[in-house]
Homo-oligomer: A and B are copies of this chain.
Amino acid sequence: MNVLLVYAHPEPKSLNGSLKDFTVKRLQDAGHTVQVSDLYAMKWKAVLDAHDSLAKEPGELFYPSRDSKHAFENGLQSKDIELEQEKLLWADAVILQFPLWWFTMPAILKGWVERVYAYGFAYGVGEHSDARWGERYGEGRLAGKRAMLVVTTGGWESHYSSRGINGPMDDVLFPIQHGILYYPGFDVLPPFVIYRTSRIDETNYPAVQDALGQRLDKLWTTAPIPFRAQNGGAYTIPELTLRADIAPDQVGFGAHVEQERDGYAVGSSYGASARLRTSASPVAIPD
């Protein structure tokens, strides 16, 4: 199978760098073909702007969505965008690996999403009608592919528990897993989260690597998070709120996850992350 690893860490000789190298090797050893978009190494242009469309004249007004649509439809996208879209179409599975900085992905990766996820490619796909609100959230150009986050954080697992001060990790990651991955059609696997990264040393690193390896071995068999499909009957259209008979007592992010499907293990929140435990941690970029 084909795997695309989109990787965002500035230092190759870091925990993230080691895990990236390990991931590539583990997947290749299992017979898969791997491409890596190492965004820092590529000096990826993080900022979405008028230069992303080759047709743009200086002085013309810039409409982010409209211009993205025009460039996508007419082969006028910046080459770097086109190459990443080709990798996404080539891939059977996509892994986004990054350190959690200020409770979401690094800017360079956010800019990859904004620029590569063009209008007509990742959004604005399909018809809007009384029965369908475009192809998104379970449908879309990337449907049939799998995606998984590999995330490191300096914070403790308890800080991200159901009553932890940062909010539950599953909720912190919801805008990415649901809003960025499920939106254009990916089946999203539970994330692989490494907590308290500063305590990982030569002694406990092998256990981290081994846990990640086991997740990679099960990339094709792990049950995805059972997000609810937008056009599958659970939502009213065009309001896109859950129908009254669907999870009637639930509100918030968790309501968009089916509570029973295919033996998917539902924990305290909606995910079932692989989690590693190490000991006390100093401060890293929050987190």
Residues of chain A at the chain B interface (Cβ within 8 Å): 10-11, 13-14, 40, 46-50, 61-65, 68, 99, 101-104, 106-108, 110-111, 113-114, 117, 119, 123-124, 128, 134, 136-137, 154, 156, 158-159, 161-168, 171-172, 174-176, 178-180, 183, 230, 235, 238-242, 250-256, 268-269, 280, 283-286
Contact = CB atoms under 8 A, between A and B. Distances in A.
B47 A156 contact: no
B123 A165 contact: no
A266 to B, nearest CB: 14
11 contacts: A65-B285, A102-B117, A107-B108, A123-B285, A128-B283, A156-B240, A162-B251, A164-B239, A167-B178, A167-B256, A179-B286
Given A103-B175, A156-B240, A167-B253, A50 B10 contact: yes
Contacts of A104: 104, 110, 175
A283 B124 contact: yes
Contacts of A253: 167, 171, 252
- Contact residues of A: prevailing secondary structure: loop
Given A156-B238, A168-B251, A252-B252, A40 B46 contact: no
Contacts of A165: 137, 230, 235, 240-242, 256
Contacts of A113: 102
A268 to B, nearest CB: 7
A156 B284 CA distance: 37
A104 B35 CA distance: 27
Contacts of A63: 11, 14
Nearest to A62: B11
Nearest to A44: B47
A199 B248 CA distance: 32
A243 B162 CA distance: 12
A240 B165 CA distance: 6
Contacts of A239: 156, 158-159, 164
A243 to B, nearest CB: 9
Contact of A114 (B14, B48, B101, B176): B101
A78 to B, nearest CB: 14
Given A47-B108, A183-B286, A163 B13 contact: no
B285 A167 contact: no
